[in-house]
Each structure stands twice: as structure tokens, then as C-alpha cells.
Amino acid sequence: MSGFVDGVPDFVIELALLALAVSLLIAFYRIVRGPSLIDRVVALELTATIVAGIVAVFAIGIDEPAIIDVAIALALVAFISAVAFARYAERARQR
């Protein structure tokens, strides 16, 4: 990857991105496996959080502060979707 500046060393950025990608895969395993809807929602929320972390590391890596806004939007959407899923699950059960 070109475009890395002096500061945080290249291999730290690359290893961090690799580790975060692996943890995305691990969280995806929980989404596929379940067993309940709430498990999947929890795993989805963790996925959004990890993607926000990837955005942060990537912003350091390419030395571009503008993409931090993506992390803000992602955190917002993840919270709202988690609350909506939880309320949907409660309502569906009570009826």
C-alpha cells in the first residue's frame, strides 16, 4: 500500500487491518450460526463497531482525516437498528 506516511509504522497498520478483518469473519460466524435472533443482532452491532474501527485505522493509514465521519454515521445507524430489532422482537413475542 502506498501513501503511508511516517508516524504509525506500515506493518502496524497492515497487521491491525488484517486482525480486524479476521474478527469481522469471526463475528460473521455468529451471525450465521445464531441460534436466536438476539444473538444475530448482537453480532451485527459488533460488526458495525469493528467496521468503525477499520475506518479509524484506515484513516491513519492513508492519512486522510475526512473518513472519520463514516465512523460517526456508522455508530448512529448501528444503535438505531439494534434498538429497532429489539423492539420488533419483543412485540412479535408478546402478540
Partner 1 sequence: MNDLLATIAVILGTALAVLSAVGLVRMPDVYIRLQVASKASSLGIALLMLGVAAHFDDVSVTIRALLVVAFLFLTAPVAAHVLGRAAYITGCPLTAGSKPDDLAGRYDRATGRLAAPDGAQRGDREAEAG
Binding site for partner 1 (CB under 8 A): 6-9, 12-13, 15-16, 19-20, 22-24, 26-27, 29-30, 36-39, 41-43, 45-46, 49-50, 52-53, 56-57, 59-60, 65, 68-69, 71-72, 75-76, 79, 82-83, 85-87, 89-90, 93-94
Query: Cα–Cα distances in Å, from 1 out to 22, 56, 62, 64, 77?
Result: 19, 17, 9, 14, 30
CB of 55 to partner 1, least distance (A): 9
CB of 2 to partner 1, least distance (A): 18
Contact by Cβ (8 Å): 27, 50: yes
Residues 6+ apart with CB under 8 A from 59: 65, 66, 67, 68
CB of 66 to partner 1, least distance (A): 9
